[in-house]
Chain A
Amino acid sequence: MKAFTRLVRRRYLALRVDCEEPPDSSAVSEAVWNAVLRLFGEVGASQAGLYLVKYDEKKRLGVLRCSHKALPMVRAAIASITRIGNAPAAVHVIRVSGTLKALSRKTAITS
């Protein structure tokens, strides 16, 4: 019997947002989407499989899911973010993991 394998391997990125005013999850999600679209276009964004799994507004920590093949693209796009909404901002990747469980274990982000 064939072993179970996922069709799309994923990567989970723990993010920390640096911004003068704490942005909400939709603003963070939009900033990441816009950065990917700006750098890689619609085709690139469609391959990235982006999804903001969770975002803690108080701690400014979030978890972003993407396709493992698109990881270099997504990391570059995240590093290129200089504004969220109208405020200057920076988004740092704290850790990358293959599962949410491992990411929670390795970072302060609780599930």
Chain B
Amino acid sequence: MKFVDLHLCVPWKDEGQAGRLIAKSAELGYSQIGVPLQPSIKPEVVNQMRLLCDESSLDFVTRLDLAPRTPGELLAGLRRFRRSFEVVSVFCSSKVVARQAAKDRRVDLLCFQSFDPQKSFFDRAEAELASASGAALELDMAQALSSLEGRSGVGLFTRLRREVAVAKSFDVPIIFSSGASQPLLLRKPQDYAALAFLFDVEASFALEALTMNPAAVVERNRKKLSADYVAPGVRVIKEA
């Protein structure tokens, strides 16, 4: 089984820490990692990170995290950077941004990082749009790990349980990512699947969220970004 972690927050400015995090990820059984990068990152840094991943036999996936304040900002960001990154995630801080992100086919992952139930925008309407556009719901496990105690934990589980139920009813793929920036926040994929038991996700479904669903996003986008891609279902086989 090929485990994928699409959100490993590698500190690319600190090579030592980056190497430790990547090595730990490989040790825990992941074979593909997505690293969020700044749009302005230099190609040399990306190549250096790719080399670090190659040393640990990890497949490196470039990822862009967009956190737009308005739908216009989101569209501008997508227009400018979509073709430079293999995975694009959007942090939805408002309802209008969430709706725009869910209906745009260029968006791969939708992230909602709020413990406030009033700011939980992944409802049935959002799921319907996401289901039609092929966007997936990403759940960061580091966020869950760091806020398990007290009322914040209760709020988090309530939100996650509701979001998972809504996503399931509209066939929106769910992706579990580590979101870890330190080796001690990383867990084995099976441990993340066990943690998902806390918000009523059965083991087989949780394993899909760590294997098939993220792998499908990467594969789809790599095909789209390849030189021979023309349109969905159309690609160049041979040039005359």
Contacts and interface: CB of A to CB of B under 8 A. Distances in A.
Interface string A77-96: 01110100000111011000
Interface string B156-168: 0000000000000
A52 to B, nearest CB: 18
Contacts of B191: 75, 78-79, 92-93
Interface string A53-70: 000000000000000000
B187 A79 contact: yes
A92 B184 contact: no
Contacts of A75: 190-191, 194, 197
Nearest to B198: A76
Contacts of A93: 188, 190-191, 194
Interface in B171-195: 182-188, 190-192, 194-195
B145 interface: yes
Contacts of A89: 184
Interface of B: 28, 145-146, 148-149, 182-188, 190-192, 194-195, 197-198, 203
A80 B157 CA distance: 13
The 4 residue pairs across chains A and B that have the minimum distance between CB atoms: A75-B194, A79-B191, A79-B195, A76-B197
B173 to A, nearest CB: 22
A80 B184 CA distance: 11
Nearest to A87: B184
22 contacts: A18-B184, A19-B184, A38-B149, A39-B198, A72-B203, A73-B197, A75-B190, A75-B191, A75-B197, A76-B197, A78-B194, A79-B187, A79-B191, A79-B195, A80-B145, A82-B146, A88-B184, A89-B184, A92-B188, A92-B191, A93-B190, A93-B194
Given A90-B184, A92-B191, 14 more contacts: A39-B148, A72-B194, A75-B191, A76-B195, A76-B198, A78-B194, A79-B191, A80-B198, A82-B184, A88-B182, A90-B186, A92-B187, A93-B191, A93-B194
A93 B28 CA distance: 11
B148 A80 contact: yes
Given A39-B198, A88-B184, A79 B146 contact: no
A80 B28 contact: no
B62 to A, nearest CB: 27
A49 to B, nearest CB: 17
Nearest to B187: A79
A39 B145 CA distance: 12
B24 to A, nearest CB: 9
